[in-house]
Each structure stands twice: as C-alpha cells, then as structure tokens.
Amino acid sequence: MNRRELMQLGVLTGGALAARDALAKAVATPGVVVAPGGQKAVVTPNGSTLPMKLVGGVKVGHLIAHEFDHELAPGLKIKAWGYNGSTPGPTIEVTQGDRVRLYVTNRLPEATTVHWHGVILPNGMDGVSGLTQKPIEPGETFLYEFTFKDAGTFMYHPHFDEMTQMALGMNGMIVVHPKAPRGPRVARDFVLMAHEWLIHPGAARPDPNAMSDFNVLTFNSKAFPATAPLVMGLGERVRIRIGNLSPMDHHPIHLHGLSAELTWTDGGEVPQSARHPETTFLVPVGSVRVFEFVTREPGDWAMHCHMTHHVMNQMGHGFPVMIGADAQKIDRRVQALVPGYMTMGHDGMGAMGSMRMRMPANSIPMMGGKGPFASIDMGGMFTVLKVRARPEEEDGSGWYQHPKGTVADLAPAERLAADGIDPENLS
C-alpha cells in the first residue's frame, strides 16, 4: 500500500471512527438501529464494520488486499494477508435492496479476486478468477457493483490461489438485514468467523500447505485468551452469526447455559416449521450458521468448538503418551544428561498452561488463560458469553460474581456424613 492509498483508507475509516466508537459502547448499551423494523447494528468482536459512503444512492466501499502484522494471541504474531489491515476483513453490513460499489485494490505480491459467498448476483460479479473475470493483478483496482437482492449472512474471500490466500487470513463476513424482518427483534447481534492456521513454532508465516496439522484455532482471527467476550443482558434475545472459512475443518460450536435455534444459513432463512432446539451447531467449511436464543441464567458461559484439539493452542501436539508413566524413574535418568529435566503429562495434561515452560520465540502455550478460580484449560476456538442482569455496567473484563452457595466446591464433612457419603467407598 502506498502513502496516498493509506491516506485514502484513513479518510474512509476516519469518517466512521466516531460511529465505531459509538458501536463499541453499544456492545453494552442498547445498539444503534441501522435497518428497518428496529434492526440493530451487528458487532464483530475483535473486528470492525466496513465504512461505506452514499454516492448518488449507491453505497461505496473500498477493500485493500495486503500483508500486515497480526497478533493471533499475546506472544504470537504473524504475517497475515487480509483486507484493510485486518483478518477477518471488516464486516460488510447493508440492507436488502442496497446497491453497492465495492472497490478492491490488490497490494499482494500475486493476483487475487473477491468472491461474495452466498450472494446471488450477476454472474460477472461472482469473483471466480478465470471463470467469471480476469484476475486482479498486483497494483490494480477492480470495481464490483451489484444489488443485494436477498437478506442473510454471507462471506467474502478470494477465488484465486484460494489455498494460499485463505490460509493466510483472507476472509470476511457480509450481513444483509432484511427489508421486512420477521419474528422478534434481537437486542444484540454478533458476527464471528471461524478459522484455523498452521503456525510452526517460532515462525511468523502461516503454512498454506497444511492439510491436517492446524495448531491455532480462532474466532475472528484471535485464539483464546485473546477472543473478546460477548456481553449480553439477562432475558435478552441474542443472535450469533458464525461463518467458517477454515481450510479443512468443520466446527461444532457448543453453547453452555443456553438452548438455541438455527434461524438462518448462508442459503437463507430457516422456515419456522424446521426450527428445533440445539446446544451445538455444526458450522461446515464454507458455510454460515445463524442461531438465536434468549439468555436464561446470568454468568460467564463458555462458547467453544467441541473438537478437543480445536480448543488447544499451538504448543500442545505431537507428544508421546505419558499418562501413567513412572515420572520419577524417567526424571532421574534424564536429569543425568539434562539437568533440571522434568517429565510432563504423566498425570494428564491439565493446568499445563499455567506452568512456566520455556517456549520458542513467537509461540503460545497449549492452554488458555487466567480464570477467576484457576487457569482455564482451553484455548483456541473459545470465547465467553457474559450474561449480566446489568450488561451496561460490564465492559467485558469482569468475572461473574456468583451468589453465595452456587459454586461447586469441596464437600463439607458434615454434609457428607448427613447424606451418608463415604469418599472411600461407593455408597
């Protein structure tokens, strides 16, 4: 990106900065209405919304594809490819019937295109290099112009050298609010992009050749504990839209403390007659799943991919099985060669994240972060839904204050005796 373009981008985003600040506050206060029927602006945790300006009734936006430094989690920085300095790129938020002109400038070292995944538009705007358009060569700016005929949640990504460009972070979400929304409005509306990366320990460039060894799993290109929590009010109706442009893996996203219904996919609205309750939504590669729920219990509720290796961070794979091994014997022998050696994992691998292990530069431990009771044994594709009676007082940094007697803890001796429980013998 040259200076002039940077300044143009600055002008484009500068106008919307005030709006974005307002939006950030709106996470905890009633949101800004942006579409008919009281539909509120979506929030992209750890991300932003693309600023667009109205020119003669057409919404104009600009995406610049380029390389930049991105922090996946504290201690793990990569050279990412994305749009306007972010991965995922800014969320494109419009209303059904809006006509858009989207300029795409290519500052990558190779050609690219943008495909508007799920959007039904004139064939020549579909962004498939070779099939529907010429590739956008480095330095060129292409113009995509079309009307969003359908409401829904869609995605955008390149259709040129997909394997490399998507692996390096080129993806984004599109939200098209319906012109005439049906059903109850939601108080909060969140947008998340699921992704997976292979970052070799110590390396800064994601490996686009990975097929199965992904070791960093992310929501909006952040691995827990870097994922921003989703703050919401008790009794509120909330919508979460999750896209998946991971190279290879589907993600079963599980919600704690909630029962939800699938309301939309990237193919459209799910009819009322087909809706049913779930606590886990499988988001296949190349799909969007949108679900809604009403919060029922206050607290800090986990939302995470249920694949156990997708809630682990980078430095946790490829170990031999040590569970049950006689660590003392091994330690004595190895310490003769390597002073200070300590076998790990012989009692299981819990709480390893809290140990101080020496790490290669630019890498993160396998497990998550600090919790209010102990370290949290999950990382990666994990975030927290903070359900609060007074969400306006919660900025996302505080932990739930549990009412007395509502936290699982050591069983008191008198209680054990009164209930006839002997810890040594099954009663």
Query: Residues interacting with Cu ion, by CB under 5 A?
Result: 251, 305, 307, 310
* Of residues 19 and 307, the one with the C-beta less far from Cu ion: 307
Q: Residue 159 or 310: which CB sits closer to Cu ion?
A: 310
In angstroms, give the least distance from the CB of 250 to Cu ion.
7
For residues 158 and 310, give the distance between their C-alpha atoms in angstroms, rounded to a whole number. Answer: 25
Among residues 163, 160, 159, the alpha carbon closest in space to that of 209 is found at: 163
In the complex with Cu ion, which residue's Cβ is closer, 248 or 355? 248
- Residue with the two structure tokens 């006509």: 99
- The least distance separating Cu ion from the CB of residue 199, rounded to whole angstroms, comes to 16
- Smallest gap from Cβ 307 to Cu ion, in A, equals 4
Q: Which residues face 40 on adjacent strands?
A: 33
Residues 43/240, Cβ–Cβ less than 8 Å: no
Q: By C-beta, is 32 or 248 nearer to Cu ion?
A: 248
Tell me the closest approach of the beta carbon of residue 192 to Cu ion, in angstroms: 12
Would you say 62 or 251 has its CB closer to Cu ion? 251
With a CB cutoff of 8 Å and minimum separation 6, the contacts of 318 are: none
First to last CA, the chain: 71
Are 60 and 98 spatial neighbours (Cβ–Cβ below 8 Å)?
no
The two three-digit tokens of residue 22, written as one number: 């307002």
In angstroms, what is the minimal distance from the CB of 52 to Cu ion? 32
Q: Which is nearer to Cu ion, 59 or 195 (CB)?
A: 195
Dist CA 133 CA 121 (whole Å): 14
H-state helical runs in 110-195: 162-167
Q: Which amino acid is at 114?
A: V
What's the closest the beta carbon of residue 310 comes to Cu ion, in angstroms? 3
Cα–Cα dist 371/376, whole Å: 6
Report the nearest approach of Cu ion to the CB of residue 249 (Å): 6
Measured from the CB atom, the residue of 62 and 310 that comes closer to Cu ion is: 310
Q: The dihedral of CA 316, 319, 325, 331: what is its sign?
A: negative
